[in-house]
Each structure stands twice: as structure tokens, then as C-alpha cells.
Chains A and B, each alone.
Chain A
Amino acid sequence: DVKVTQSSRYLVKRTGEKVFLECVQDMDHENMFWYRQDPGLGLRLIYFSYDVKMKEKGDIPEGYSVSREKKERFSLILESASTNQTSMYLCASSLWTSGIGLETQYFGPGTRLLVL
């Protein structure tokens, strides 16, 4: 079974703090993704990575950065946390597409972040 783990289930931080969210997958997937999920807005892609040290911006990258130093680990960094970054953060991973259709994305359990 694919396993995607995230470092924290719940996190409380202060405005201006630097926040690190960690994601690890154990299935040798090439692709890793960071989303945030907010009521009424659905899942929105922040960043994704298709290889070590490679990253691409998603739909809402402002205020975030990412790091992928090892294939199994993808970190999301909030450089200076703000209250509007209070959200559920979800990490996902998938195999690189080799056939006609995209491979399934598998999600971690999520981190609920509260910025005060």
C-alpha cells in the first residue's frame, strides 16, 4: 500500500513565524504535490515537484516555498506565516505518467494549521 505521511496533524503558529511542513512517501513516486483545502474553495495546488530539486508553481504559490532534496521527502515552507494561511494542508504523491492516463495521486492525512 502507498503510504504518505505528514509530520504533524495539527499545528499552531504565530504570525511571522517560519513554518515547515514535511511530507514523506514510501513508494518511490516521482511526483509530489502540496495543496491547501479551504471551505468553499476546494483543493488548490500550491507547488509540485516531479523530481529531486525540481519544483513548479501551482495556482497559489505566493507566500510559500518548497524543498525537495530527496525523492521521498517534499517540504512546504511558510516563510512568514500569516493568518490567511490558516488552512488544511494536504500532501500527495504519484508515479510519473508513462502511459496514456495520469497516475493516481495518493494523499497524506493532512496538517491542520492555525496561525494566530
Chain B
Amino acid sequence: QKEVEQNSGPLSVPEGAIASLNCTYSDRGSQSFFWYRQYSGKSPELIMSIYSNGDKEDGRFTAQLNKASQYVSLLIRDSQPSDSATYLCAGDSQGGSEKLVFGKGMKLTVNP
């Protein structure tokens, strides 16, 4: 069974700080990774996808993928109270499957 592990948190950072969210995965063959944000009572929404080793930046968000160490991370710079949410990491499942495997999520609180 493929697994995606996230620290359960919660994580609390002051406004303006960098929030770092980490995720490890068990299947060395996984190639596709996604970070979703989920506000309380709402459904997950995509923040970023990453497929290649290295960094991918989009505004205040940077996703990092290290396939050798089997981890993927999300950095949020200049954190805002509106970033307070649960963040879900997901990776692809068996080779050729359209399924994703989700981590259990980490709750982030940004304090004003």
C-alpha cells in the first residue's frame, strides 16, 4: 500500500514568517505530487503540482521535490492569516493508475 506521510502538526507561525510543510512518500516510483489547501468546512483546492526534482515557485508558494530522499515540501513565504487552513499532500498511486494517495493533512495557523 503506497503511503504519503505528513506531520500531523498543528503548525503555528506568526504573520510574515515562512511556514514549512513537509511530506514523505513510500513509493520510489511516484512522479506526481500535489499540494491542496482546505479551509474548515470547505473542499480541497489545488495550490501547486510538482513533477520534477527541484523547486517550483508560484507567488508566495514554493514546492520542493527531492526524489532521492522521497520528500516533498511546501514553503509559504510572508505567511498571512488567510493562509490558516489544513494543507494536504498527495502523490500518485500504482504505476499507470489515475488515483492519488493523500496524506492526513497538517493544520496551519498564522497568527496576526
Interface-side segment among A69-77, A79-87, A106-114? A106-114
A41: Cβ under 8 A from any B Cβ: yes
Grouping DSSP codes into helix (H, G, I), strand (E, B) and loop, the A interface class, with mixed when no group exceeds half, is: loop
Size class of the contact patch on chain B: 20 to 34
A40-B104, A100-B31 known; A90-B43 Cβ under 8 A: yes
Residues of B near A52 (CB, < 8 A) are none
Residues of B near A106 (CB, < 8 A) are 46
A104-B49, A106-B46, A107-B43 known; A42-B104 Cβ under 8 A: yes
Size class of the contact patch on chain A: 20 to 34
Min CB distance, A51 to chain B, in Å?
11
Q: Check A109 against B42 for contact (C-beta < 8 Å).
A: yes
Cα(A105)–Cα(B103), bound, Å: 15
Q: Check A42 against B105 for contact (C-beta < 8 Å).
A: yes
Q: Check B43 against A102 for contact (C-beta < 8 Å).
A: no
Q: Check A108 against B43 for contact (C-beta < 8 Å).
A: yes
